Amino acid sequence: MKKRVVITGLGVVSPNGMGVEAFANALKKGVSGIRHSHTLEELQFSCQVAGKPIISVTTKEEYLTRLQLRGFNSTGILYGVIAGIDACKDAGLEINSETVDWDLSVIFGAGTSGIDKFREAIYKVDEKNVRRLGSSVAIQVMNSGVSAYLSGMIGAGGQVTTNSSACTTGTESILMGYDLIQSGRSKRVLVGSTSDSGPYIWGGFDAMKVCAYKYNDQPEKASRPMSESANGFVPGSGAGALLIESLESAEERGATIYAEILGGHVNCGAQRNGGSLTAPNNEAVQRCIQNALKQAGILASDISTINGHLTATKKDPIEIKNWKEALGFTSSNFPPINSLKSMVGHGLSASGALECVASVLQLKEQFIFPNINCEDPHPDILTEIDQTAIPTKMIEKELNIIAKASFGFGDVNGCLIFKRYNTI
């Protein structure tokens, strides 16, 4: 029999709010966290705006010791540590420096780690002195650095690992944690994902000409998912974290429950039939969504709202069509759909986890956050769904089930089904 898996803690480091309360308020009000970047302007990027969390030195010292901060230069690990610790504290877990929680695992995804740290280090040495890179480099540049930091800080004694699947990373990490609990190998799992920030992460996308460039003087209007006037995604960063556990574990601890995970699915289009390293195989996308519903044991008609991937590129109309065909909806009964990227940009490997936190908050607080900058939906989207399915203002509505999907480079897909928690 399947175990019921619930979410008992959330943590978030987002361009438009750090911490659950600030983030939830920003969602409801449609607050953008996208700002002009002097660095990108000086480097003559086409896109000179970005979604980057603002974190003070004082805040850093609340999470990392001065010893840990000595020689520290990894934004991705920093974001992940803050979000992960906040999620554990939010879940009411006792964290101390002496005990090991053998029933707690960590699966925290990342696309890269410590790009700025590695650049800083290699510029100090030449080929003859490569051994002088420094003792703080290795842990910061290994992809599993974020999980390594977190496991020691929270005392996790179960499986500790980092997954990496491009923009699907965060969604996949949650499903991996869900499977770990289902198998009985762990009672509790800290899941989520993070992404480094800065020009050495974003430069390749700017070179691909997939980033927004028409709104450099209007940062808050730059990210425009589903909009006819969209001209590319806004690079972003941050981290999202969720503490998930079996219902039995949550009840034993008397934990507050945000929502339930009914199931999900991940797959790959194998870069066939229209799929490529950067484009989705539409059949694979639809199969992923359909199998997620099958694994969750629900019907398409049970879905209250959809949180899409929707990056503000030419792929948005294709994604809408895939949702519609996979779920068998008509234009008149297609449920409301939104994209967090309108407020924070595309957080790359962090995006799935950030968006899952936003999805869970919608279920817990019973609202649908608005799609900002989408007063002009793309005409190809309006041939598929009614404009009323693209809310531009917050909606207070009774929600029961949210479908959340992420699609990433490498033709990889992930879809999760979240449900409002009840005791039945």
What is the mean pLDDT of the segment spanning 318-344? 98
The pLDDT tens digits for 104-122 are 999 999 999 988 888 888 7
* pLDDT range class, residue 131, cuts 50, 70, 90: low
Element at 404 (helix H, strand E): strand 401-408
Backbone angles phi, psi at 316, to 5 degrees: -60, -50
What is the mean pLDDT of the segment spanning 42-64? 97
Report pLDDT for 134: 73
For the cut 90, the answer to whether the pLDDT of residue 34 exceeds it is: yes
DSSP string, 288-333: HHHHHHHHHT--GGG--EEE----SSTTHHHHHHHHHHHHT--TTT
The pLDDT tens digits for 72-87 are 999 999 999 999 999 9
Contact 226, 381 (CB under 8 A): yes
Report pLDDT for 123: 74
The whole-model pTM stands at 0.97
The pLDDT tens digits for 339-396 are 999 999 999 999 999 999 999 999 999 999 999 999 999 999 999 999 999 999 999 9
The pLDDT tens digits for 266-284 are 999 999 999 999 999 999 9
For the cut 70, the answer to whether the pLDDT of residue 132 exceeds it is: no
Tokens of 67: 């010893």
How many Cβ atoms from other residues are within 10 Å of residue 295's Cβ? 18
Contact 253, 341 (CB under 8 A): no
The pLDDT tens digits for 142-199 are 999 999 999 999 999 999 999 999 999 999 999 999 999 999 999 999 999 999 999 9
Report pLDDT for 277: 96
Closest residue by Cα to residue 105 from 219, 187, 14: 187
The pLDDT tens digits for 193-224 are 999 999 999 999 999 999 999 999 999 999 99
Contact 198, 39 (CB under 8 A): yes
Closest residue by Cα to residue 109 from 160, 157, 68, 75: 160
The pLDDT tens digits for 226-266 are 999 999 999 999 999 999 999 999 999 999 999 999 999 99
Tell me what the pLDDT averaged over the chain comes to.
Answer: 96
Report pLDDT for 122: 74
Q: Percent of the chain, pLDDT > 90? A: 91
* Backbone φ/ψ region at 155: left (φ over 0), alpha (ψ -120 to 50), beta: left
Report pLDDT for 49: 98
* pLDDT range class, residue 1, cuts 50, 70, 90: confident
What is the mean pLDDT of the segment spanning 92-103? 93
What is the CA angle 366-370-374, rounded to 5?
160
**Half-sphere exposure at residue 367, Cβ-oriented, CA atoms within 13 angstroms:** 18
Report pLDDT for 118: 81
How many Cβ atoms from other residues are within 10 Å of residue 91's Cβ? 24
Q: How far apart are the first and last CA of the chain?
A: 15
Structural domains of the chain sorted by starting position, each given as residue range(s) with its CATH number in brackets? 5-259 (3.40.47.10), 263-420 (3.40.47.10)
Contact 13, 238 (CB under 8 A): yes
Closest residue by Cα to residue 5 from 207, 318, 263, 357: 263
For the cut 70, the answer to whether the pLDDT of residue 423 exceeds it is: no
What are the angstrom distances between the C-alpha of 217 and each of 48, 147, 165, 220, 222? 9, 38, 33, 9, 9
Sequence-separated (6 or more) residues with CB below 8 Å from residue 380: 317
DSSP string, 242-283: EEEEEHHHHHHHT----EEEEEEEEEE-TT-TT--SSS--HH
